[in-house]
Structure 1
Amino acid sequence: RAAGAAPAPQARRRPRAADSLPAPRGLTRRAAALAVLLLVVVAALAPYLHATISQRAEIADARAELAATEADVADLEQQVERWQDPAYVERQARQRLALVMPGDVPYRVVGVAPSRQAERDPREAAADGVRASADRPWFGVLWDSVGEAGREAAGR
């Protein structure tokens, strides 16, 4: 080259075939190794995750059962406290067992519908029962009550 001469235009570089190829779209070795590693980790951790989840469910069930049991215990303790009260015991004996205090005369009204029976004065109902049984022999009253019970059962 001469000192004052213009520089020669540089030859254009031709692209190589390797440079112009697009990147491979399939799995590379690195991606395949990463996928295999990920599968191994998931397979190794799956039993532990399953056990953890099932144990949490069992713990939640146990807590719910414990809460229900504690509620039952509280209810039973209240029942024990109620049974310590003599008035409650007396009321239950009258209602459940039809027991009466010494000197009381028990009366049972038969044949009156429960709604009408509740509206009647208890003294009036007792007086009607005494009059009806005083006028007739006991077996007549018994036979009438059996017949009335049969009519009520047939009416249902």
Structure 2
Amino acid sequence: MSRTDRPDGGTERRVDVRGWLGGIRLSGFMLIMLGLVVLAVFVLVPTIGTYVGQRQQIAALENSVQVTKSQVAELQKQRDRWKDPAYITTQARARLYYVKPGEVVYLVDDDLSASQLPQEKAPVSDTVQQTRTDWMSQLLRSVAAAGLARTASTTGGAPGGTTPSPTTSPSATR
């Protein structure tokens, strides 16, 4: 190593690379071993990458199996609930509005409390205002929705508070 003086008064150290490289002696055995190490790196890097990728897939699949097992357990609980006649009756009353003979059911359309009702209504305007939507497309959507809506008798609610009797299809009577 040699030292040189800098203009600011400090000294700078230089490394003589030629002297350092000249001290390295490579034998044939060392070159073969270095070649084997390089070859091992080229062979093992893709293999290790494949291994890591497969381990990630296995972990994801194990997680998926755990989620599926919890879903199966939940579905089995639901199936067990449907075996109870009281639960079936409750669901039929709540979902399909079924009632027992002689019962009267009242459906409340506006069940908001007085505090939830809007207190102030906007005054009616005497001026003509432009609408923000296309009234024709909204009219057509409304008519289509009304035409495709189910009637009260097809959704399970029967007039008069009685349960509709099951009907048999023509194919079942043969």
TM-score band by shorter chain is 0.5 to 0.7
- For residues 66-118 of structure 1, what are the alpha-carbon distances to aligned partners after superposition, in whole Å with 9 as ceiling and x for unaligned? 001101100000000011111111111111111111221111122231698xx
Distance change >3 Å, CA 114–CA 88, structure 1 → 2: farther
Please, which of 15, 21, 24 is the counterpart of residue 22 of structure 2? 24
Q: RMSD of the TM alignment (CA)?
A: 2.7
The reply to whether residue 98 of structure 1 matches residue 121 of structure 2 is no
Gap runs ≥5 in structure 2: 1-18, 116-174
- Aligned pairs, how many? 96
Larger helix fraction of residues: 1
Aligned with 2:101: secondary structure?
coil
User: Residues of 2 paired with 1:42 and 1:27: CA distance?
Assistant: 24
Moved over 6 A (4+): none
User: Residues of 2 paired with 1:100 and 1:52: CA distance?
Assistant: 63
Aligned with 1:107: secondary structure?
coil
Distance change >3 Å, CA 27–CA 90, structure 1 → 2: farther
**Deviation for aligned residue 1:32:** 4.4
Could you tell me which amino acid in structure 1 is paired with residue 88 of structure 2?
V
Aligned with 1:99: secondary structure?
coil
The equivalent residue for 2:72 is 73
Q: TM-score, normalised by structure 1?
A: 0.53
Gap runs ≥5 in structure 1: 1-20, 117-156
Larger strand fraction of residues: 2
Q: TM-score, normalised by structure 2?
A: 0.48
Highest RCO, 1 vs 2 (Cα 8 Å, sep ≥ 6):
2
Matches within 5 A, 1:124-143: none
**Percent sequence identity over aligned pairs:** 31
